[in-house]
Amino acid sequence: LPVTSGYASLSLDGQATKFSLSSGGARSFAFYGPWYEQMHGSGSCQQSFFGCYFCPRENPCDDILLRRKWRVLYGRDEFYNYVEHSVTLGIGNHMVKDFKFGLVVGHSGGYGQFPIPILGLSLGRANIPETFLEQLLRQQVIDTLSYSIYASPAGDGITGILTLEDSVPTSVTYIGFSRKRSRLSDGKISASLSPLDLFDSHSTKLRIHHDNADTEPAIVDAGAS
């Protein structure tokens, strides 16, 4: 799948929708059109960069607000409420029937107050709906719960190709995690950031060193670009 600035497109019942990729989250959901236009005005779905999903006549969802609602927190104070709906998923050259996808029917908080459709690529757990990758595995579209993103070296965000079920080893150096107690980690899972180099959006390595600065703890966010 092509990825542009961290966004990828899928088809839900023939309706193209863009999603923000999240390697740290396991939930996937699109905007439910009637809810989105109720919140942002008539015709706002056509103006949205992401697009919306409207239940077609052959796949109705008149009971959508009566279905079980899932609530998920992103960041400190951004909440999404969504329900599940079975669609025909268009992904690459595949059309996958009876694919359950989340439809957002409520949102609050967050930066700028505008929601973003999310495609979660992380592994799931027992108390949440079956994930995007788990459904593809069960329907034999992929053989393994793995993926790779081959990104171009420059530009804002991640632009490149998302390849599902790809786990080919690369020459990239891996940074190990540890529970070793230290002044910073206090027994929590941690990783040393000393092997990391920082680059700007033009792929230029940042070379300014602050040897006299105090050491500070940092959080590794696998879902950010």
User: 26-43 pLDDT, tens per residue?
Assistant: 999 999 999 999 999 999
Residue 169 lies in a domain: no
* C-alpha–C-alpha distance, residues 152 and 168, integer Å: 18
pLDDT at 206: 74
Residue with tokens 């497109």: 9
Total domains in the chain come to 1
Residue 220 lies in a domain: no
* C-alpha–C-alpha distance, residues 206 and 200, integer Å: 7
* C-alpha–C-alpha distance, residues 58 and 23, integer Å: 33
Domain span including residue 107: 2-148
181, 190 Cβ separation under 8 angstroms: no
Residue 37 lies in a domain: yes
Identify which of 167, 94, 89 has the alpha carbon closest to the alpha carbon of residue 132.
89
CATH code of residue 114? 2.40.70.10
Residue 100 lies in a domain: yes
**Residues in the chain with pLDDT values less than 50:** 183-185, 224-225
* C-alpha–C-alpha distance, residues 101 and 12, integer Å: 9
Residue 101 lies in a domain: yes
**pTM of this prediction?**
0.75
Residue 175 lies in a domain: no
* C-alpha–C-alpha distance, residues 161 and 65, integer Å: 36
189, 202 Cβ separation under 8 angstroms: no
Residue 140 lies in a domain: yes
DSSP 225: -
pLDDT at 224: 47
Residue 85 lies in a domain: yes
* C-alpha–C-alpha distance, residues 18 and 48, integer Å: 10
85, 93 Cβ separation under 8 angstroms: no
88, 99 Cβ separation under 8 angstroms: yes
**Coil/strand/helix, residue 41:** coil
